[in-house]
Structure 1
Amino acid sequence: MRYRHVIISRHGGPDVLEIVMDERPEPRAGEVGVRVLATGVAFTDVLIREGLYLGLPKVPFTPGYEIVGIVDQLGSGVAGLDIGQRIAALTVVGGYSEYVCLPAHECVLVPPEVDVAEAVGLVLQYVTAYQLLHRIAKVQSGDRILIHGAAGGVGTALLELGHLAGLKMYGTDSTTKHDLIANLGATPIDYLPENFQPQIRRLTPNGMDVVFDAIGGRHLLGSYQTLAPGGQLISYGFSSALSAHWGRLLKVGESMGLLTLLSIWPDRRSAVFYNITDLKRRQPNWFRDDLTSLLDLLADGSIQPIIADRLPLADAAVAHNLLDHAAVRGQLVLLCDETFRANSSKPERKSSPVDHPSARG
């Protein structure tokens, strides 16, 4: 049986993404074959496409950090999963595909009643947000947090989950996205470094308890300077490296060096780096527990991920182009053909200030 999947033919811009046909692989012992329904498109995928993510396979390979799909084949020795069950998994690579083979122990059951596009957005971006808040920062109700890029996938997840945790939230982004940030319960702030620091000092003279920064580079220093005594800077990305015309990996190294320096600076503030795959490797049960909790919140309506768009798998390059131009509010999802047709035939679920859970009460 032949299937379609997207490959990165070389590192570079969205044009390096190509859709190809291959023979479907068979699951090995301990694996399941999965028919992919949806895969998320996140800024992490852009870093992977550009070759700025550590531990990547050699090109060509299939990107795609997260999937939701249906188990349709069982390898030998698999127990606890059945054909026909919906599952979610953090794939890191391989998700932009109609079919994948995955270790059975990596699969988390997905409630049958939830929307697949919303469910797939939980796997990377909401688990990241949940762990940033509760595993790393260990926030308490009333804490003041600053989120850079607050209208993006992880940003909106942080705002939704921060609202549930009773946090006082501030979010930076371009002014065209300030309405979304405000609707999710945060104070919007202009994202430019020369603007956000004076605004923070005016709004919260005592400073922030936690700052979440996925930009990196010298931006980390500005984030650190907004912290209150005892505050935490949590870095989880290096988007600033993409704007460099040369030496992008050096920019990533510069970010890590600055973060290390800030982490040992003796002024009662702290700085740490978070990576979802690293924490999953060290604490595998946390990932499963956190994703399961988030799927329960989705099923009962406590959270509703903001879907920027649902696109067919063949439009992977279109999705990456949107991310490259910062034209995304919320999360982008690629749907395989059958799922895309089913979604196209029903009204789109769009969040509004009135119906979004974070805008209530």
Structure 2
Amino acid sequence: MSAGAAHHITIRRRGAPDVLLWEAEDLPEPAPTEVRVQVEAAGVSAYDVMLRGHRFPGFPALPYTPGEDIVGIVDKVGRDVTTLSPGQRVGGWTFGDAGGYAQYLCRPAADLVPVPDGLAPAAAVALIVNYLTASLALHQAAKVQPGERLLVQGAGGGLGSALLQLGREAGLLTYGCDAARKHDQISTDGAEPIDYKAADVIQQSRDLTDGGADVVIDLVGGARQLMRSWRALRPDGRLLMLGMAGSLRSGTGIILPSLGLLGLFAISPGERHLVKGPGMDSYPRDNPDWYQKTLSGFFAMALKGRLAPRVAETVPMHEAARAHAMLESGNVSGKVVLIAAENTIERV
């Protein structure tokens, strides 16, 4: 460790957003194959919120620093690093290691991708976990084909927006179900909006999709919602359960509400089926060429205007508790991003 000190968010006990503490730490030194990144932007995700609470008892071990996706400036390189240089802007996924809510972070150079000039840090970080997850869901899990009909349940958030935009790029007919206040955004993403509060929402979905969607991706979760998604499918459709946003507001666990769906699959006629997604953390790490190429492609597409990552709000990193509360409210349309505006090292 150096003689400097920086700050990061630490969770020492599970609970409400106020367990997120802004603490000093020694400035980390990169290992031979790592670089130290001066973080400019860190994404906030539903996964972060669930880990902070009691949704996964005992995981991760306490204390820990949350944060899956980061963008920042290379501050120092390990002695064996040849692919990145100090002063270069990079972005990357921490692959389940967390640690992104920090002013400085050391990561393997192979896990970081150069961010092109002209792409703001907040926009770049909004492209990482959401768009990589959406790509995995559409192409590796659901194996979508041009001309198919895609319905996204809970389409108004950052991941929903990524699914609709990448679905459009893949030649799909897209439909987004969410609250009426998010319909303008869904339309901007190229999809037909559906009000999830409508009394006839299932029939409306089936009518708009000409008898049912080929693929339904459910970002809400819970047994009742998943039954709705199942009924919105064509007889040979595919259902992918990708998120549990509903449990953020209800306070329920993220696994148990879905177990009732097992009986639904056992008694339902036809050939509808649940598709199993690849490991959202393990697949990119196990396929580094795919990861580097895909994320670089997203950065380039955003610069050209083909992708429009939606940043709901930027929040100073030391106010991470406020960012978590915003996400839990369910009123966010897009990605919440923490900004490390003050990266001054305190010399001791």
Answer yes or no: is the 8 Å Cα contact 2:71–2:125 preserved in 1.
yes
Answer yes or no: is the 8 Å Cα contact 1:241–1:252 preserved in 2.
no
Aligned twin of 2:157: 152
**What is the deviation of 1:252?**
0.5
* CA distance in 2 between partners of 1:55 and 1:67 (Å): 25
Equivalent runs, 1:1-361 vs 2, <5 Å: 1-53=4-56, 56-91=59-94, 92=96, 93-192=98-197, 195-218=200-223, 219-243=225-249, 248=253, 251-255=254-258, 258=261, 262=265, 267-274=270-277, 275-338=279-342
User: Which structure shows the bigger proportion of residues in helix conformation?
Assistant: 1
* CA distance in 1 between partners of 2:334 and 2:57 (Å): 25
Question: Percent identity, aligned pairs only?
Answer: 41
Aligned with 2:160: secondary structure? Answer: helix
Answer yes or no: is the 8 Å Cα contact 1:42–1:153 preserved in 2.
no
Aligned with 2:274: secondary structure? Answer: strand
Aligned with 2:128: secondary structure? Answer: helix
Per-residue CA deviation, residues 318-345 of structure 1 (Å, 9 max, x unaligned), is: 1111111112111111111158xxxxxx
In the alignment, residue 58 of structure 1 is paired with which amino acid? Answer: A
Closer, same or farther: CA 95–256 of 1 in aligned 2, 3 Å? farther
**What is the deviation of 1:281?**
4.1
Please report the TM-score for the alignment, with normalisation by the length of structure 2. Answer: 0.88
* CA distance in 1 between partners of 2:151 and 2:73 (Å): 38
* CA distance in 1 between partners of 2:177 and 2:29 (Å): 46
Structure with larger RCO (C-alpha < 8 A, sep 6+): 2
**What is the deviation of 1:26?**
0.9
**What is the deviation of 1:265?**
6.8
Answer yes or no: is the 8 Å Cα contact 1:236–1:273 preserved in 2.
no
* CA distance in 1 between partners of 2:63 and 2:255 (Å): 23
Closer, same or farther: CA 243–222 of 1 in aligned 2, 3 Å? same
Per-residue CA deviation, residues 153-211 of structure 1 (Å, 9 max, x unaligned), is: 00111122222223221111112112221232222112249643122133234210111
* CA distance in 2 between partners of 1:260 and 1:296 (Å): 44
In the alignment, residue 236 of structure 1 is paired with which amino acid? Answer: L
RMSD: 2.4
Aligned with 1:337: secondary structure? Answer: coil
Per-residue CA deviation, residues 223-273 of structure 1 (Å, 9 max, x unaligned), is: 112111321111112234445556x2xx51452673697399773222124
Alignment gaps of 5+ in structure 2:
344-348
Answer yes or no: is the 8 Å Cα contact 1:148–1:173 preserved in 2.
yes
Closer, same or farther: CA 149–127 of 1 in aligned 2, 3 Å? same
